[in-house]
Structure 1
């Protein structure tokens, strides 16, 4: 009898354990379209995502490994919170939408490992995607180090991907990589290995049947390294990877380390139609709010003239920079960017004269700096001015006294935790002196523009400068430019430095003039450093010049009209009482675009489009009662300005 009772107790216990092991915890989006299931299998944590009840992401692993603890296996569920509705409203001038609303259902799984050490997994599911992060709730002043993150995104094998390879650390010109400056691999099969062991960068775009998914990370606050996706993804299973050991700030740490308690960054998957994913603001919804010590009103967004992009190093002299200040003033642009070696070729004293002259013209100056440090061998100066807090305060105080409005800092070359801290310290110190920041040769911003409103833009893209270097890059521009609105530029400002309307020295431009004119509307950046020169601008029609004198620096709303990554894109952006609709064609065939102007409450609409030969423009009004399709020429484009009723 005792044996039977013991056996029954054992069976009941086993059944209870099996039930626990098979329990799935569900989190749905407020509109019920997205659903996440989280569960343990063999004491390992996994999640799946469904859209409209159909699976779109297969069993994907969760967990982390610390030096002192394994949170990837032998896990048990201590408890699971109830669903909680999370709301957030914020304004963001430097983005696709001024007024933003975030609404998500939140649920927390409280887990522990075999040693009874605790880890939470926090899920938030909104109508446009899924986000989760880890939290170590215990208090411990001893430094903890994470050696590996087991987080994965397991796509079904028929999924296609648009992904940018990560460049190998310490490679490239003057050992400045990684700089997020590779071309995207377009519509490749998931499971395709990255070209090198460095892996793939964020954001990474995927298409499965009629669902699009975009993977990135947000909430990188200095307590973690920036991550990427690993090189190999067997059967479409992509795992989060850490930076190369050389991606550090002057011999400091690369992998994550912190005392406890400790939050990790958000892992983000935007999910939905291509329109929903492209219009999503998850990349800033989950970023930390603006730091209270930083006043966003101090930092003006705008457009800038820039001599270096076409004239290179020899243009950084007093007389040419004065000419480009006059150019900015004539174009009613807010800024003039003065690039490398200004400290030796112009000097601080003469730069003060230029700053005073620019102020008299209502133009602000932006000055270039080398990020310096031991991570690159770049000779350009100013150098070694920013790597310590004390040096930054001294230099920034001098710039503030001179009336300089912002800095461009170049050649970071790393995603290690110590390098991420350097970025954030740079933003904070610059903000104290009213200086905006633009980073080149840099990592992906990951929503930083919300937290640090003085961060106006970052490069992190193979931009216009590469087109000026080599004909092959010019040939690639149509495909590249029609891919990055769906990837790199989907959440974060991007300093592509677009738009050449006339000619590029020693390069035959493949795109048409109207394609180029559309880029400053298609691409979002807090400051647009425009590539056209005074001589080039003198060749364009008056109505094109007028458009470029008046087009907005920031947007109140953005709508995706039509497109496909690497083929074409049509977007509409709103400012005041006007909508700016722009399209670019990445293919060598005509495209007809049908537009419904009633959606824009249109009173009138004017179009600028390619002339027949594609090297010039034509303009005219649009019949709003029966608008004809807009014809985009091969590698062509258009801009329409809609005035609302």
Structure 2
């Protein structure tokens, strides 16, 4: 059995959220602070607990099920509602190292419903409603060293039958290259019926996006600690009712836990639903608002930034000393903070030469990042270095070694699973890396679920079909444009995403459909604590100097994010502010030219530049612009095209 280490901060956050205000058994509703969202809890004659949600009086979620099946007790039927607390205001303020907004405030109304089963075992359901959505989780009271086991979670999200869905299938366990799935690397099915089943047995991953009437809903998960597995949505959704699903049998490692098990007290992860207009759900930070606060420690050494990277366009053979040195020079010339040296560096470069590269990079004000295989027998990957992450002893020895060498961070790849033992593994790596002073980026991995708040040294996670897939296969390149136009509405809403964007060059044996304006826009549209750029030094030299200057200027640390325009998979325009500088980027996910009038009233009167597509989709032109006093800016989006605006206050 893979032994979990209980740490004090988990207990502290449990106490924070389990506060017990005075009891009012007459009310079964809780509303958001502005009163527009109302959640109602009900209990059927057979003792089945359920909830429903309205927005401005209109149903967003119809009667949806609550309940958990524990090995030692059923919390699914025959329940009694023994108490409901008064509504209590929850306020929180926090700062993120990584994300679309640095300083964040959370205001919600909390209500706790207490249920007893036929054996008088107690289960609480904690609901919190903010103006932008709903979060809830289960709490099992008591104090015992005896392990408890959850075999099923009955939670459902019952959308109206005419709602539409934008969903990513979850790949079945042990499928794909080297049996690496699931790693959240599938293309989205867009604007489908909520009755349509997943093409995989594993179901659908989070975040899941829905439209019902005038309202949008994003469903996800947050606050996933070591005492639960990651969940998803089951493949079938009869009449629009989606059930929380557990991992498949093969999604466990170290012969450890698959389904949730823990001692008491025990909190489940938060079920998170951002609800409202497309602007509301896209700007929402609900996925980090309820995430576990940061572990104790000084994280001033964590510095987000941009990185050069040879592998995505040049592949394995070019992970060598001369090429790595060239990419360090490239990062230095662009003013980027990092250079990533990818798989096989241990055999094709070696520690001694890596030390030389670290020292050389330091003279250029560039930090080095190193790739590792998560290793283990759960997949067939061969890339090295392997085996160093498997035990706390080997992990800490390696982290200490590279920290003393001057390495800034690691990229750890090939996990492939959502079982509790895999989730424990992520937590153990992040905890040890934090202690060693190492930044972490996970690839071939699960969704972060707000971990960037809990572990400020977590700078990014892949969990998406990114640029590398465009270089592998034409069929993925053919759908890359609408795929990219989906991500600001789904995968990248709450969590950092290491898509590795921006390729101006032609890709060997691939016809790239995106324009260079489209590629440039991705540097702003996609949020990642370390943004690894795909383009090579040669490709960057081939574009106009004003493009290189833009790529030098675009930051990764954002103070503010504003949704301007868009529709999932069709087009998106986002504005992000860093200090006094605004970057506004847009892409067209379709093959027809679009004439848009952007409402930029929040930057009215500001001056700057706009880079847009030229006569062909490989040409770029730059113009000086001033945002009119009425804030309206007409713009043409070329087919598969994009633009980038830079403004200064």
Normalised by the size of structure 1, how large is the TM-score? 0.95
Q: Matches of 2:569 and 2:99 in 1, distance apart? A: 22
2:522 aligned counterpart, secondary structure: helix
CA positional deviation for 1:182 = 0.4
Distance change (3 Å), C-alpha of 1:48 and 1:339 = same
> Residue 234 in 1 paired to residue 238 in 2?
yes
Q: Using the alignment, how far apart are the partners of 2:79 and 2:588 within structure 1?
A: 51
**Deviation at 1:625?**
3.4
1:614 aligns with 2:617: yes
1:339 is matched with 342
**What are the within-5 Å matches in structure 2 for residues 109-148 of structure 1?**
109-148=113-152
CA distance in 2, matches of 1:108, 1:159: 29
Q: Offset at 1:24? A: 6.1
> Which of 535, 538, 559 is matched with 2:538 structurally?
535
What is the aligned partner in structure 2 of residue 7 from structure 1? none
Please state how far the C-alpha of 1:612 moved relative to its aligned partner: 1.4
* 1:139-538 matched pairs, under 5 angstroms: 139-293=143-297, 295-538=298-541
User: For residues 340 and 452 of structure 1, do their structure 2 counterparts lie closer, same or farther at Cα, with a shift above 3 Å needed?
Assistant: same
Please state how far the C-alpha of 1:592 moved relative to its aligned partner: 1.7
SS of equivalent to 1:158: coil
Structure 2 Cα separation of the partners of residues 507 and 490 of structure 1: 29
Q: Distance in 2 between matches of 1:625 and 1:211?
A: 31
Deviation of 1:523 (Å)? 0.6
Secondary structure at 1:478 match in 2: helix
- 2:637 matches 1:632: yes
Tell me what 2:84 maps to.
80
What is the alpha-carbon distance in structure 2 between the residues aligned to residue 375 and residue 512 of structure 1?
39
Match of 1:572 among 575, 583, 606: 575
Larger-Rg structure? 1
Partner secondary structure for residue 648 of structure 2: strand
Q: Distance in 2 between matches of 1:434 and 1:93?
A: 15
Indicate if the aligned counterparts of 2:477 and 2:511 stay in contact, CA closer than 8 A.
yes
Which residue, out of 547, 561, 569, partners 1:558? 561
Unaligned residue ranges in structure 1 (runs of 5+): 1-21
Contact 2:605 2:628 in 1 (8 A): no
Between the two proteins, the alignment pairs up a number of residues equal to 622
* Kept after mapping to 2: 8 A contact 1:155/1:236: yes
**Aligned partners of 1:416, 1:632: CA distance in 2, in Å?**
43
Instruction: Indicate the RMSD between aligned Cα atoms, in angstroms.
Output: 1.1
1:23 deviates by: 7.2
Shift of 1:628: 5.1
Distance 1:548 1:296 in 2: 27
User: Aligned equivalents of 1:56 and 1:232: distance in 2?
Assistant: 20
Counterpart contact for 1:24–1:39, Cα < 8 Å: no
Compute the displacement of 1:475 (Å). Answer: 1.2
Aligned-residue offset at 1:601: 4.5
The structural deviation recorded for 1:602 is: 3.8
Residues 443 and 460 in structure 1, CA contact (< 8 A), matched pair in contact too: yes
The equivalent of 1:10 in structure 2 is none
CA distance in 2 between partners of 1:279 and 1:597 (Å): 16
- What secondary structure is seen at the aligned counterpart in 2 of 1:77? strand
- In 1, the alpha carbon distance for the partners of 2:386 and 2:599 equals 53
Is the alpha carbon distance of 1:624 and 1:237 closer, same or farther for their aligned partners in structure 2, counting shifts above 3 Å? closer
> Do 1:590 and 1:634's aligned partners in 2 also have CA atoms closer than 8 Å?
yes
Contact map agreement 1:205 1:214 (CA 8 A) in 2? yes
1:14 corresponds to which residue? none
More displaced 10-residue stretch of structure 1: 594-603 or 576-585: 594-603
User: Secondary structure at the residue paired with 1:108?
Assistant: strand
Helix, strand or coil at the partner of 2:598: coil
- The question of 1:643 aligning with 2:641 is answered no
| Residue number in structure 2 paired with 1:13 | none
Shift of 1:599: 1.5
Secondary structure, aligned partner of 2:574? strand
Report the secondary structure of 1:135's partner residue.
strand
The alpha carbon displacement at 1:504 in A equals 1.2
Deviations 1:540-590 (A, max 9, x none): 111110111121121000000010001000000000111100000001111
The DSSP-based 3-state class of the residue aligned with 1:606 is strand
TM-score normalised by the chain length of structure 2: 0.95
Residues 126-160 of structure 1 deviation map (CA, whole Å, 9 limit, x = unaligned): 00000100001122221000000000001111000
Instruction: Provide the secondary structure at the position in 2 that maps to 1:85.
Output: strand
In structure 2, the residue matched to 1:25 is: 28
Q: Is the 8 A contact 2:30 2:40 kept in 1?
A: yes
312 and 190 in structure 1: CA distance in 2 versus 1, 3 angstrom threshold:
same
Q: What residue ranges of structure 2 are gaps of 5+ in the alignment? A: 1-24
Moved over 6 A (4+): none
- Rounded to whole Å, the distance in 2 between the matches of 1:228 and 1:505 is 36
